[in-house]
């Protein structure tokens, strides 16, 4: 069976057993405690916990689920590549019962599929059953044990041999530290050669880490919910969650040729058609890089031979192939689900995975330059029939990986050259150890991975000062702690009585509240209710005023505290007691500007998707009173036409004055509605707020908005730029923000203008527009700004003209001086015994002394038809220069290039050139005189 047949056969089998076949869920998990979707059951957690009804009739489902196990509880990253069956990405085939069938069916159907349908030899199968040392969290799974006994007995096998017991470590499955869980039963397959196989040896290999006994299927009987306090709460219904390692099953079926052959086995997940095309693409790429392993790579680079790579290649190359093939799948599938390499959280795990793959490619396979991205098409072709998102996102996957490889490539190059310099330095000083300080500098300042330094050190026979490195790391940590002066606001919560502030600011701009917490330093209060919006989702916190008795405090900022508390940062310590009644009023004008920018952000998002297509996804935003910033995924810079189309669309919607409506909905409903924009990569609670503008822009959003788009008034994009690979940023302003922006910009332009005017010593242009003042109409303000821009551009142009004129004058002066120098020197030439005249001059004291003067003087000699050798020098405090020219008649005998080469070492530099003209420079300025007097030596 090919892998696609295995997948299909599994799903068909469970469809026959009335299971609904569902698509794999995204690799971005719903659970906030997971980095990646790590098991088939993740998407069903709400059903297990009775938080959502089961939508399937009967309540059964089956699928193949994309899983990543890297970082977090189930973390296989470091094993990957060194064995034949661990992966960071894999598919898990699974079947589920939601409060429907239980252990009896789960076990007997598993047996039926493996033995009756797929022909697994029953005597090579072993089952494990949960039997804990103590009774926590559940007692011995006698039910599963009894069922397995029947199963093995009816196959004529001894249950005593084929059933093993395991404790919580092996036979109690948990998705993470919390969540649905329960005892499990695993099925293991023995792969010993027929002549060695005996049931008791088979038994002894179970869970021994031997590649000749592989766990293929885990049947979990979900009965509990693990809670954060460490307790296991029984669930109202009992469920089945099974997970079969797709690649492992393929490896066994294909490696044994459908169980016909157990001798001389080569069982490896990588030796299946799952990986064939990817491996082939890696081999071809390595060959095209002319790596040192050409011939052995050639021998595997064909469809027939590639799956034998593990038997043919030397071990380090084998590991590299596996690592690259595995990691590339993780990267491609993750990126297709919107998880991109970055500096934090799951993005950081991806970045490490990419760098690990690149390292193996460079170091072991000798591949030069970015290469992973070139393998993506082979991967997409293979898996897109099952996972169409790969085809949809192919160009994004390629460009994200390429950009990430390029940036890592630069890091590596820089690190390598620093390493080479250091190695030379150590060699000449006869030191054999890399200092901790140096390793740390590579790591910290240059982002060079520690283990790559380790590898280079090993090759260069250098030891590593690990302790020194650790010390430097620790010192750095201390320094950054000290430098990190940010105010950390912590709310003390006694026991369980979490403080929650009610937000009334959608409807009201002011209101009363009771003081629940008072903090003197930094000064803040927490209130029972507030109209102030706490910074969230890009929207800045409100400012306002707090009144208490006769006192008035400024609210400088509003931030989220722990739990649902809202913190009001004040200008000074609050003097009243806890429990005091206060009155709060927000800065309404400021809030209105924020709301205008927030509504405009939604319009902008919508317009970008209209102009650039639906692939545009929000990556972050800032919404303040001054401006808005919107970051989004898009592979290239926007053209001026695209920008003005976006601006026009937003402007039209503002002119239409569409209503902005908000509604509260359940997340479950929203999730199913593709027209509602959600922040990719964000997690939401059960109840969400949808902001709907005119029916065309619907977004999940907790922010504050205008009542209708018309209130935004006037909209202008002020910049578009790249902020990271594949991510663009637009900054825009609207309403009163436009006037402020225009006034600020005007000020900046005016400053630039006066600097230029001083530089060129000319008066300011007279038609410079008047400054757009506060409160002036935004469109008028914008007009004045545009005019100012125009003036500055013209003036810059003028400036350039002035510079051109100035340099002409300088040229003129140089020429004049050069002619004087010529007049002075050409008669003083000394004639060599060969009859060739030579002039040597140090021009450092001349009026226009500069390297430019050397050239001008050489030109003057040439233009006046002087024949001979000219050697000119010049120095300032930093640099010495030497120019040699040999007139054509003598280049047969003397070469300017050779003369320069001989002289420049004396000024500590390098140089060379043609035989008629050559130049060089160096930093040993005091050597110039020596160099010039040496000329006679060379020319004798
Ligand atoms: N949840 C179990 C696992 O991932 C079975 O699907 O192994």
Nearest alpha carbon, ligand 1 atom 2: 243
pLDDT at site 135:
63
pLDDT at site 852:
85
Ligand 1: nearest atom to the Cα of 67: 4
Nearest alpha carbon, ligand 1 atom 6: 243
DSSP-assigned letters across all residues of 195-223: TT--HHHHHHHTTTT-TTEEEEEEEEEEE
Task: Compute the distance from residue 320 Cα to the ligand 1 centre, in Å.
Answer: 28
Task: Compute the distance from residue 351 Cα to the ligand 1 centre, in Å.
Answer: 26
Mutation probe of ligand 1 site: the residue of 31, 219, 222, 243 with most atoms within 8 A of C-beta:
243
Task: Compute the distance from residue 389 Cα to the ligand 1 centre, in Å.
Answer: 24
Let me know: does 532 contact 570? Beta carbons within 8 Å: no
pLDDT at site 488:
36
Q: Are strands 524-527 and 20-21 parallel, antiparallel or unpaired?
A: unpaired
Torsion of CA 191, 193, 199, 204, to 10 degrees: -60
* Cβ atoms within 10 Å of 411's Cβ, excluding its own: 16
**Radius of gyration for the chain, computed over Cα atoms and rounded to the nearest angstrom:** 37
Let me know: does 746 contact 785? Beta carbons within 8 Å: yes
Pocket-forming residues, ligand 1, beta carbon under 6 Å: 39-41, 94, 173, 218, 220, 241-243
pLDDT digits (tens, 9 = 90+) for 772-798: 877 778 999 999 999 999 988 888 888
Task: Compute the distance from residue 576 Cα to the ligand 1 centre, in Å.
Answer: 56
* Block residue for tokens 């020098």: 873
Nearest-angstrom CA–CA distance, 575 and 570: 11
pLDDT at site 262:
92
737 exposure class (CB count in 10 Å sphere: 0-12, 13-18, 19+):
buried
Nearest alpha carbon, ligand 1 atom 3: 243
Task: Compute the distance from residue 152 Cα to the ligand 1 centre, in Å.
Answer: 23
Q: Is the peptide bond before 58 cis (omega within 30 degrees of 0)?
A: yes
pLDDT at site 341:
87
Q: What's phi and psi for 369, nearest 5 deg?
A: 70, 170
Nearest-angstrom CA–CA distance, 682 and 701: 11
Mutation probe of ligand 1 site: the residue of 218, 224, 226 with most atoms within 8 A of C-beta:
218
208 exposure class (CB count in 10 Å sphere: 0-12, 13-18, 19+):
exposed
Closest CA to 926 of 855, 876, 884, 882: 876
Task: Compute the distance from residue 170 Cα to the ligand 1 centre, in Å.
Answer: 12
Nearest-angstrom CA–CA distance, 183 and 187: 14
Nearest-angstrom CA–CA distance, 576 and 570: 13
Ligand 1: nearest atom to the Cα of 219: 5
Which residues are bridge partners to 687 per DSSP? 666
Residues with Cβ within 8 Å of 775's Cβ and at least 6 positions away in sequence, in order, are: 739
Task: Compute the distance from residue 167 Cα to the ligand 1 centre, in Å.
Answer: 16
Which tokens belong to 598? 């927030």
Instruction: Give 58-109 as a 3 state SS string.
Output: CCEEEEEEEEECCCCCCCCHHHCCCCCCCCCEEEEEEEEEECCCCHHHHHHH
Q: 811 by DSSP, 3-state: which?
A: helix
pTM: 0.57
Task: Compute the distance from residue 784 Cα to the ligand 1 centre, in Å.
Answer: 65
Ligand 1: nearest atom to the Cα of 38: 4
Let me know: does 772 contact 780? Beta carbons within 8 Å: yes
pLDDT at site 683:
56
Rounded to 10°, the helix 315-336/345-363 angle is 150
Ligand 1: nearest atom to the Cα of 243: 6
Which tokens belong to 441? 């500098």
- Mean pLDDT for back-to-back runs of 10 residues, the chain (940 residues): 97 97 91 84 91 92 95 68 92 97 97 97 97 81 96 96 93 86 96 92 91 94 89 92 97 95 91 97 91 86 93 92 97 92 81 90 87 97 95 89 88 86 91 92 81 82 92 77 41 52 90 92 92 92 94 93 88 93 94 96 96 87 94 89 95 94 83 72 70 93 93 94 84 92 91 81 76 83 92 85 82 89 89 91 88 91 93 91 94 92 89 88 91 85
Which tokens belong to 443? 């790591």
Task: Compute the distance from residue 653 Cα to the ligand 1 centre, in Å.
Answer: 50
pLDDT at site 443:
86
Ligand 1: nearest atom to the Cα of 74: 4
563 exposure class (CB count in 10 Å sphere: 0-12, 13-18, 19+):
exposed
Task: Compute the distance from residue 40 Cα to the ligand 1 centre, in Å.
Answer: 6
* Block residue for tokens 């060079």: 448
As a residue count, the chain comes to 940
Nearest alpha carbon, ligand 1 atom 4: 39
């Amino acid at each position: 069976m090919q892998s696609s047949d295995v997948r299909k056969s599994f799903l068909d089998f469970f469809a026959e057993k009335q299971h609904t076949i569902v698509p794999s869920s995204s690799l971005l998990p719903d659970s906030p405690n997971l980095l990646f979707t790590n098991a088939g059951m993740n998407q069903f957690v709400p059903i297990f916990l009775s938080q959502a009804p089961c939508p399937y009739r009967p309540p059964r489902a089956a699928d193949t689920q994309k899983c990543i196990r890297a970082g977090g509880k189930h973390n296989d990253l470091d094993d990957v590549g060194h064995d034949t069956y661990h992966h960071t990405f894999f598919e898990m085939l699974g079947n589920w019962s939601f409060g429907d069938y239980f252990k009896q069916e789960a076990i007997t159907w598993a047996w039926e599929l493996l033995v009756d349908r797929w022909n697994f030899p029953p005597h090579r199968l072993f089952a494990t059953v949960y039997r804990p040392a103590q009774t926590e969290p559940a007692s011995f799974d006698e039910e599963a044990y009894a069922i397995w006994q029947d199963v093995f007995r009816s196959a004529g096998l001894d249950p005593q041999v084929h059933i093993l017991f395991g404790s919580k470590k092996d036979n109690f499955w948990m998705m993470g530290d919390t969540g649905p869980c329960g005892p499990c039963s695993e099925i293991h397959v023995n792969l010993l050669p027929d002549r060695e196989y005996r049931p008791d040896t088979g038994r002894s290999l179970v869970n021994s880490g031997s590649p000749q006994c592989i766990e293929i299927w885990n049947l979990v009987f979900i009965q509990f919910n693990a809670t954060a306090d460490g307790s296991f709460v029984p669930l109202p219904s009992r469920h089945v969650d099974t997970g079969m390692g797709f690649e492992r099953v393929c490896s066994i079926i294909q490696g044994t040729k459908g169980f016909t052959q157990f001798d001389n086995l080569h069982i490896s997940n990588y030796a299946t058609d799952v990986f064939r095309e990817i491996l082939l693409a890696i081999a071809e790429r390595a060959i095209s890089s002319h790596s040192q392993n050409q011939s052995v790579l050639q021998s595997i680079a064909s469809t027939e031979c590639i799956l034998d790579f593990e038997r043919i290649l030397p071990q380090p190359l084998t590991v590299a192939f596996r690592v690259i093939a595995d990691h590339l799948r993780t990267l491609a599938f993750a990126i297709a689900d919107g998880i991109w390499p970055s500096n934090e959280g799951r993005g950081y795990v991806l970045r490490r995975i990419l760098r690990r793959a690149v390292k193996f490619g460079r170091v072991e396979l000798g591949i030069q330059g970015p290469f992973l991205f070139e393998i993506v098409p082979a991967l997409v072709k293979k898996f897109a029939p099952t996972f169409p998102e790969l085809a949809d996102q192919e160009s994004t996957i390629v460009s994200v990986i390429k950009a990430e490889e390029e940036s890592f490539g630069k890091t590596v190059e820089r690190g390598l050259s620093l390493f080479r310099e250091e190695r030379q330095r150590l060699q000449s000083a006869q030191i054999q150890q890399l200092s901790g300080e140096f390793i740390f500098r590579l790591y910290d300042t240059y982002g060079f991975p520690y283990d790559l330094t380790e590898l280079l050190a090993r090759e260069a026979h250098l030891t590593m000062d690990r302790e020194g490195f650790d010390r430097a790391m620790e010192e750095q940590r201390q320094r950054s702690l000290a430098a990190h002066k940010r105010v950390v606001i912590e709310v003390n919560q006694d026991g369980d009585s979490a403080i929650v502030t009610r937000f009334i600011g959608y409807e009201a701009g002011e209101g009363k509240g009771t003081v629940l917490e008072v903090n003197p330093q930094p000064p803040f209060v927490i209130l029972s209710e507030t109209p102030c919006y706490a910074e969230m989702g890009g929207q800045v916190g409100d400012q306002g005023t707090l009144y208490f008795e006769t006192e008035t405090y400024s609210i400088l900022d509003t931030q989220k505290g722990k739990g649902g508390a809202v913190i009001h940062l004040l200008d000074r310590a609050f003097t009243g007691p806890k429990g005091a009644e206060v009155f709060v009023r927000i800065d309404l004008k400021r809030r209105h500007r924020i709301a205008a920018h927030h509504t405009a952000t939604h319009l902008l998002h919508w317009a970008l998707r209209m102009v650039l297509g639906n692939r545009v996804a929000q990556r972050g935003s800032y919404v303040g009173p001054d401006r808005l910033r919107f970051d989004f995924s898009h592979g290239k810079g926007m053209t001026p036409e695209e920008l003005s189309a976006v601006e026009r669309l937003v402007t039209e919607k503002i002119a239409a004055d569409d209503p902005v409506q908000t509604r509260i909905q359940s997340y479950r409903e929203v999730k199913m509605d593709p027209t509602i924009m959600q922040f990719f990569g964000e997690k939401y609670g059960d109840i969400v707020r949808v902001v709907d503008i005119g029916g065309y822009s619907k977004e999940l959003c907790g922010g504050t908005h205008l009542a209708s788009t018309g209130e935004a008034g006037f909209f202008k994009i002020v910049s578009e730029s790249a902020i990271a690979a594949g991510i663009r940023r637009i900054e825009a302003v609207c309403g009163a923000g436009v006037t402020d922006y225009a006034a600020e910009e005007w000020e900046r332009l005016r400053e630039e203008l006066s600097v230029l005017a001083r530089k060129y010593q000319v008066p300011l242009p007279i038609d410079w527009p008047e400054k757009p003042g506060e409160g002036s109409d935004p469109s008028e303000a914008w007009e004045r700004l545009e005019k100012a821009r125009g003036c500055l551009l013209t003036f810059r142009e003028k400036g350039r003209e002035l510079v051109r004129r100035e340099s002409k004058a300088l040229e003129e002066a140089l020429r004049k001086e050069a002619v004087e120098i010529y007049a002075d020197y050409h008669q003083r030439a000394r004639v060599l015994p060969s009859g060739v005249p030579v002039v040597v001059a140090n021009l450092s004291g001349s009026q226009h002394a500069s390297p430019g003067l050397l050239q001008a003087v050489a030109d003057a000699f040439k233009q006046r038809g002087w024949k001979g050798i000219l050697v000119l020098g010049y120095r300032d405090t930093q640099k010495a220069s030497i120019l040699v020219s040999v007139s054509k008649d003598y280049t047969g005998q003397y070469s300017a290039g050779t003369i320069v080469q001989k002289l420049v070492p004396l000024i500590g530099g390098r140089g060379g050139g043609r035989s008629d003209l050559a130049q060089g420079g160096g930093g040993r300025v005091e050597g110039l005189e020596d160099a010039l007097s040496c000329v006679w030596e060379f020319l004798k």
